Structure 1
Amino acid sequence: MGEHASAIRVAEVMDRFGELSLRVRNRLWEHRLRATPSRIAVMAALARAPGLDRRDTETTAPGTDTPSIPGHLTVPGLQRAIETLDIPLDGVTVYRAVTTLTDVDLIHPVTIRDRASRYGLNHPRHHHAVCDTCGTLRSLPADDVTDLLTSAADLARFSLPDCGALTLHGRCTPCQSNHG
């Protein structure tokens, strides 16, 4: 009976998140892993995360009319976001799902100094800008920094992944205004 209940929950979660669920399931199957409710729920929560992290309220990428890239959340933030989807998961289950999704390159971690890692979707491809003062994390569309990143990788004789390889550190506009 437990197995049947689990299958019903997977089907319910798959139905709720449609195309995202199929993409997650297919990627997991490529690695001979199952699409569990927790894995799909983590992806759904990240897909719904605010596009600009921390205190930003903009809904488009800075200086553009293009929608921002979904945000990045810590494991506790993911757990809270998943609770709003009415899917009860404990922190350990969320952490395990995050680990698996990272291993199969569906999501990536961003670690900022001594703060907890935040996790974001690998699609659309992007990189990061971090405010060292307040911790604001912004996503930079990969296509906008491709030439710069290719030049830097060539200079360093490095091969870089498609997503998350570049993290710029500095001060966001509000912190520049507050700290001169």
Structure 2
Amino acid sequence: MCERCNYRKFMEDVGIRPTEHRLAVLQVLGNAPHPMTAQEVFRALQAERAINRVTVYRALESLVEGGVVDKMSAGDRSFRYGLAPNEHHPQHAHFYCRLCGAMACLPPESLPPAFQNGVPSIVPGIVEKYEIRLDGICHHCRQRDA
């Protein structure tokens, strides 16, 4: 769990009731070094508590709707989940390996210069969310195939 984040407060600030399962989902995502699939979240929770798949999906959806969790598209038509940008976790890009399906967080400074200080002023409206994903082949897959 991110020691700097108060997950209960994140939920309360957006009007989401901080249930035991929602808090557990946030803790799993906060501990993860990369965005996770719903199945990965389910497996991580199932290892430590009795929980069903539907509960995990519902918790994820309510957290996404509240803006506490981001739902990111992956190159394989699936979705990954991670903490939404907040005061302790800045917006950042992701790298998706098209061979093994791994998705990795990139450092915030990897964003294009125009996005490093927020969204460019040339956008003709108010941007509520943006995603930058780079697709390719990760180092592990490149070494394996070499």
TM range (shorter): 0.7 to 0.9
Distance 1:44 1:94, change over 3 A: same
**CA drift at 1:39:** 0.6
- Structure 2 match to 1:103: 65
Residue 136 (1) aligns with residue 102 (2): yes
Once the two structures are superposed, what CA deviation does each residue of 1:33-57 show, in whole Å capped at 9, x if it has no partner?
Answer: 21101110001111222x2xxxxxx
TM-score by length of 2: 0.76
Can you give the 5+ residue segments of structure 1 that lack an aligned partner in the other structure? 1-16, 52-70
Report the structure, 1 or 2, having the larger helix content. Answer: 1
- Structure 2 match to 1:37: 20
> Per chain length, whose mean CA-contact separation is higher, i.e. which structure has more relative contact order (CA < 8 Å, sep 6+)?
2
Looking at structure 1, the residues matched to 105 and 113 of structure 2 have their Cα atoms a distance apart, in angstroms, of: 17
Greater CA radius of gyration, 1 or 2? 1
Q: Secondary structure at the match of 2:104?
A: strand
Asked whether the equivalents of residues 69 and 81 of structure 2 are also in contact (C-alpha less than 8 Å), the reply is yes
**CA drift at 1:174:** 3.1
Looking at structure 2, the residues matched to 95 and 73 of structure 1 have their Cα atoms a distance apart, in angstroms, of: 13
* Aligned-residue CA RMSD (Å): 3.1
TM-score by length of 1: 0.63
Asked whether the equivalents of residues 27 and 104 of structure 1 are also in contact (C-alpha less than 8 Å), the reply is no
- Structure 1 match to 2:53: 91
Looking at structure 2, the residues matched to 106 and 40 of structure 1 have their Cα atoms a distance apart, in angstroms, of: 11
Report the number of matched residues.
140
**What amino acid maps onto 2:25 in structure 1?**
V
- Of 15, 25, 47, the match for 2:8: 25
**CA drift at 1:144:** 3.8
Once the two structures are superposed, what CA deviation does each residue of 1:102-156 show, in whole Å capped at 9, x if it has no partner?
Answer: 11222112222334311111242222011122212110122442515359x6497
Distance 1:146 1:114, change over 3 A: closer
- Of 78, 101, 112, the match for 1:116: 78
Q: Secondary structure at the match of 1:130?
A: strand
